[in-house]
């Protein structure tokens, strides 16, 4: 059996795990990443695509923002469409110059992976039977797995559980040490990637009697579109033609708007879910990103929140290795959860403002429209949306 040792053992090579490894490396803290999927799979998976201002600033400041700055699409506003009209939220003006950048999560992963490998960082892809142990206070943390069929034991001082919602770290915590808070939504999103130029140069969040729809993009040649559907909907019920017709209906609330159509290169259905565990740590194990919380995608927050967690975690590890002080590590969960809950609130609010829940009465419907009218006509209300959308400031 191979036995290796590092300071921080990281489970998961998603945005959280790779960013953590990158930030630690820059301050001389060693880590090893253990990922159960292949490098190709992780890099090709179609996921989120909106980066907050603070996420972009972090990547640029730490030397992984070159392609992002070259190819990312900077957006200064978004549109909210409802009751046959479009209303622009001017993010730039409402936040004193902040913007968002459209850049696929798979590119973020590729940039971070390349940077780690160029810096001599170790990432085990396609690791099998990943297990963690020894993370009680006073214990000796270990990540066990198989690489190319051979058992490996990775000893470390701490384990960072960055292995997403279905990972192995959260379920390894002792029963009773965590409390979960969750909410299911009575719908999912059917998402497509189409080989066609976006129909507008900004994102459109459309509230429609038939359900929510979102127009987004990945590049000037690739459009990303979403439709609210039933949570148990089968993708086989949605041939491309039906998807385009439904999308066109939900966006055509504005006169003369025509959605550009092109070959569909990817499609899938995602359920909608809000989830948080408290605390996000136990002994020498720290959860970050989707391993600790899930937000519905309406606020475009999942990836950004994962990055916010690992900023806090990296700082705590760096402080520990520099001075031996554990204070920041002990407060990790408390610091993160303040942001997590504000982001949960925002994501829930955007979701409830824009979707049909199916059990609304006429009062609820009027109230939803009044909310959209208020958000788009009051500067104070638009400013609150904009401040959250570009990303709340990082806390200490
Ligand atoms: N062992 C090792 N790795 C694992 C295991 C396991 N048992 N289980 C899962 N993983 C890997 C997954 O294959 C994935 O690459 O952990 C990684 C977790 O990455 P993400 O799910 O992307 O989670 P995170 O890094 O927290 O980023 C959250 O990513 O998917 C989006 O919507 C999500 O935008 C949010 C962001
Ligand atoms: C996306 O482009 O995938 C996207 C954009 C905005 C969202 C969610 C997803 O709110």
Pocket flag, ligand 1, residue 34 (CB < 6 Å): yes
Nearest residue CA, atom 29 of ligand 1? 303
Q: How far apart are the first and last CA of the chain?
A: 42
Of 108, 245, 256, which is closest to residue 190 (Cα–Cα)? 245
Q: What are the pLDDT digits (tens) for 188-246?
A: 999 999 999 999 999 999 999 999 999 999 999 999 999 999 999 999 999 999 999 99
| Dist CA 337 CA 332 (whole Å) | 9
Full pLDDT tens readout for the chain, 396 residues: 899 999 999 999 999 999 999 999 999 999 999 999 999 999 888 888 999 999 999 999 999 999 999 999 999 999 999 999 999 999 999 999 999 999 999 999 999 999 999 999 999 999 999 999 999 999 999 999 999 999 999 999 999 999 999 999 999 999 899 999 999 999 999 999 999 999 999 999 999 999 999 999 999 999 999 999 999 999 999 999 999 999 999 998 777 889 999 999 999 999 999 999 999 999 999 999 999 999 999 999 999 999 999 999 999 999 999 999 999 999 999 999 999 999 999 999 999 999 999 999 999 999 999 999 999 999 999 999 999 999 999 876
Predicted TM-score (pTM) of this structure: 0.97
> 288: Cβ below 6 Å to ligand 2?
no
CA dihedral 122, 125, 129, 133 (to 10 degrees): 30
| Residues acting as catalytic residues | 75, 205, 297, 301, 389
Question: HSE (CB half, 13 Å, CA atoms) of 55?
Answer: 31
* pLDDT for position 396: 65
pLDDT tens track for 365-380: 999 999 999 999 999 9
d(CA 228, CA 173): 35
Asked if residues 295 and 307 have their Cβ atoms less than 8 Å apart, the reply is: no
Atom of ligand 1 nearest to the CA of 145: 1
Instruction: Among 45, 47, 48, name the best residue to mutate to test ligand 2's pocket (greatest count of ligand atoms within 8 A of Cβ).
Output: 48
Question: Ligand 1 centroid vs 351 CA: distance in angstroms?
Answer: 23
340 CB-near residues (< 8 Å, 6+ apart): 276, 292, 293, 305, 309
Q: Please state at what angle helix 332-354 crosses helix 362-377, rounded to 10 degrees.
A: 110
**What is the spatial distance between Cα 91 and Cα 385, in angstroms, rounded to a whole number?**
9
DSSP letter (8 states) at residue 174: P
């Amino acid at each position: 059996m191979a036995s290796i040792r590092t300071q921080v053992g990281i489970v998961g090579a998603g945005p959280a795990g790779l960013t953590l490894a990158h930030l630690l490396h820059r301050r001389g803290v060693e880590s090893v990443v253990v990922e159960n999927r292949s490098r190709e799979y992780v890099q090709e998976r179609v996921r989120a695509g909106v980066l907050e201002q603070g996420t972009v600033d972090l990547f640029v400041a730490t030397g992984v923002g070159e392609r992002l700055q070259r190819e990312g699409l900077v957006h200064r506003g978004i549109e909210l469409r409802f009751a046959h009209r479009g209303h622009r939220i001017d993010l730039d003006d409402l936040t004193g110059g902040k913007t968002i950048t459209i850049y696929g999560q798979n590119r973020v992963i590729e940039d971070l992976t390349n940077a780690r490998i160029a810096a001599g960082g170790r990432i085990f892809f396609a690791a099998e039977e990943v297990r963690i142990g020894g993370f009680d206070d006073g214990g000796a943390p270990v990540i066990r797995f198989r690489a190319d069929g051979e058992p490996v034991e990775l000893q470390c001082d701490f384990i960072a559980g960055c292995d997403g919602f279905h990972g192995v770290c959260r379920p390894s915590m002792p029963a009773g040490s965590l409390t979960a808070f969750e909410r299911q939504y009575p719908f999912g999103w059917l998402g497509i990637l189409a080989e066609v130029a976006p129909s507008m140069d900004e994102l459109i969040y459309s509230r429609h009697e038939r359900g929510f729809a979102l127009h987004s993009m990945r590049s000037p040649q690739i459009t990303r579109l979403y439709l609210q559907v039933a949570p148990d909907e089968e993708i086989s019920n949605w041939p491309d033609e039906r998807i385009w017709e439904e999308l066109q209906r939900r966006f055509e609330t504005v006169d003369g708007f025509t959605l550009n159509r092109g070959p569909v290169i990817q499609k899938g259905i995602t359920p909608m879910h809000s989830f948080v565990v408290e605390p996000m740590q136990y002994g020498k194990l720290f959860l970050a990103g989707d391993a600790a919380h899930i937000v519905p995608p309406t606020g475009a927050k999942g990836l950004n929140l994962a990055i916010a967690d690992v900023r806090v975690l990296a700082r705590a590890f760096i402080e520990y290795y520099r001075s031996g002080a554990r204070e920041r590590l002990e407060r990790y969960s408390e610091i993160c959860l303040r942001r997590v809950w504000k982001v949960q609130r925002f994501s829930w609010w955007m979701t409830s403002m824009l979707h049909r829940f199916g059990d609304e009465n006429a009062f609820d419907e009027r109230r939803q429209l009044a909310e959209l009218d208020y958000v788009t006509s009051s500067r104070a209300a638009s400013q609150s949306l904009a401040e959250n959308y570009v990303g709340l400031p990082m806390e200490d």
